[in-house]
Amino acid sequence: MTLSPADLARHVDHTLLSPTATAAQLAALAAEAVALGTYSICVSPSMLPVTAPLGTVLVATVCGFPSGKHTATIKAAEAADSIARGADEVDMVIDLGLVKAGRWDDTRSEIAMVRASVPSPKVLKVIIEAAALTDEEIIAACQAAEAAGADFVKTSTGYHPSGGASVHAVELMARTVGGRLGVKASGGIHDWDLAVALLEAGATRLGLSGTAAVLAGHRSAGY
């Protein structure tokens, strides 16, 4: 895959989800996103609405983050509040306990409840924490997300001790959703080569907090 930094940037949700994030950091994030040409910024719900100039850059936020152990009712209410305060996209964390217990009807139900709070054309991404799952669980979680009407499946929050995005997980997720849903790779993506490898594996969006450094790696990688 031959990509310029500008090409890669158009796949990026430029992310600031630190618990200590400030309004000044949000303003800097927005300015950097515009300068780099990223697809969106991704921020915590408490930082909405975003009043900094964004041009064509969209606003994403998170829901049930980072543990996923909120009730479906709370997740749906959180998502609805974020949409009302200007979010274009919501990245929800599923309850991994339901996945590990094989409770797929309940998994689909909670995703569907959040989907109802994020009406199309708003975008719903479903974070499955792929590094914490078996291949069979990854496939079933992606199938549940699709059945519940999600727009994307997403690898990771970046906060789980099992790790973040991997090429293997992205390949498996992309194969499972077959282009019907987008695939977002997020968590632990700190260099150009990994970012490109994830796109080659089937990712259609990348969650990056160090976007400028990743893009600068285009040069250091010899391109």
Q: What is the pLDDT of residue 2?
A: 86
- Digit-coded pLDDT (tens) for 160-209: 999 999 999 999 999 999 999 999 999 999 999 999 999 999 999 999 99
3-state secondary structure the chain: CCCCHHHHHCCEEEEECCCCCCHHHHHHHHHHHHHHCCCEEEECHHHCCCCCCCCCCEEEEEECCCCCCCCHHHHHHHHHHHHHCCCCEEEEECCHHHHHCCCHHHHHHHHHHHHHHCCCCCEEEEECCHHHCCHHHHHHHHHHHHHCCCCEEECCCCCCCCCCCCHHHHHHHHHHHCCCCEEEEECCCCCHHHHHHHHHHCCCEEEECCHHHHHHHHHHCCC
- Digit-coded pLDDT (tens) for 60-74: 999 999 999 999 999
Q: Is residue 96 a contact partner of residue 141, using CB atoms and an 8 Å limit?
A: no
Catalytic-labelled residue, pool 13, 91, 95, 151? 91
Please identify which residue in the block is written with the tokens 């709370």.
Answer: 74
For the question of residue 154 being annotated catalytic, the response is: yes
Q: In whole numbers, what is the pLDDT of the chain averaged over residues?
A: 96
For the question of residue 91 being annotated catalytic, the response is: yes
Assign residue 216 the CATH number of its domain. 3.20.20.70
Catalytic-labelled residue, pool 13, 125, 151, 154? 154
Q: Is residue 213 a contact partner of residue 190, using CB atoms and an 8 Å limit?
A: yes
Q: How confident is the model at residue 221 (pLDDT cuts 50, 70, 90)?
A: low
Catalytic-labelled residue, pool 95, 125, 151, 184? 184
Q: What is d(CA 147, CA 36) in angstroms, rounded to the nearest whole number?
A: 35
Which residue range forms the structural domain that includes residue 190?
5-220
Which residue, among 171, 176, 188, 189, has the nearest Cα to 150 in the 3D structure?
176
For the question of residue 69 being annotated catalytic, the response is: no
Give the C-alpha distances (Å, rounded to integers) separating 96 from 15, 36, 92.
Answer: 23, 34, 12
Total domains, the chain: 1
Q: What is d(CA 17, CA 46) in angstroms, rounded to the nearest whole number?
A: 10
- Digit-coded pLDDT (tens) for 101-130: 999 999 999 999 999 999 999 999 999 999
Please identify which residue in the block is written with the tokens 């990743």.
Answer: 214
